[in-house]
Amino acid sequence: MKCWNDQLVTPSPELLTATDGEHFFRLSNGWYFTIKKTIDDAALPYGLVAYALIPVKSEFFIETDYLPKKFVFSKTADKSILISDKDTEFPVRSATGETIFYLDKKASGAVPHNDLRTILLRMTPVL
């Protein structure tokens, strides 16, 4: 690699051998929407391959306060959705209209919402 802008992640061997276009990959520290483009130019003796790795969700092998599992675009999305391994009714599409990956609802228990009547009924036995 001639140039790279950060040390957060580098292309995996699967991405290096992938065809040009848009892909969705699980890399060492999370999920990435990737774009690969081969640039053919006579002025370049070896050719040039450009990669764009756009982070979608960080997932480190160990979870700490500094390395959380979370979606990059939202601090609260991880509480209600997850990236699905199978087709669901919630596809995420690229600008070209191609389905990149699917989201699914996260299973969670019902959280009771207490209104005034519920609080009064719960406090009555205490009194």
71-109: pLDDT as tens digits = 888 888 888 888 988 899 999 998 888 898 999 988 765
pLDDT at 1 over 70: no
Taking the C-alpha atoms of residue 81 and residue 107, their distance in angstroms, rounded to an integer, is 9
Residue 115 bridge partners (DSSP): none
Tell me whether residue 8 is in a domain: no
Taking the C-alpha atoms of residue 11 and residue 71, their distance in angstroms, rounded to an integer, is 20
Element (H, E) at 121: helix 116-123
Tell me whether residue 7 is in a domain: no
- Tens digits of residue pLDDT in 20-43: 999 998 888 889 999 999 888 777
Tell me whether residue 3 is in a domain: no
How many structural domains are present in the chain? Answer: 1
Tell me whether residue 112 is in a domain: yes
Q: Which domain holds residue 89?
A: 13-123
Tell me whether residue 109 is in a domain: yes
Taking the C-alpha atoms of residue 114 and residue 126, their distance in angstroms, rounded to an integer, is 17
Tell me whether residue 106 is in a domain: yes
Q: β-pairing, 81-84 with 90-93?
A: unpaired
Tell me whether residue 95 is in a domain: yes
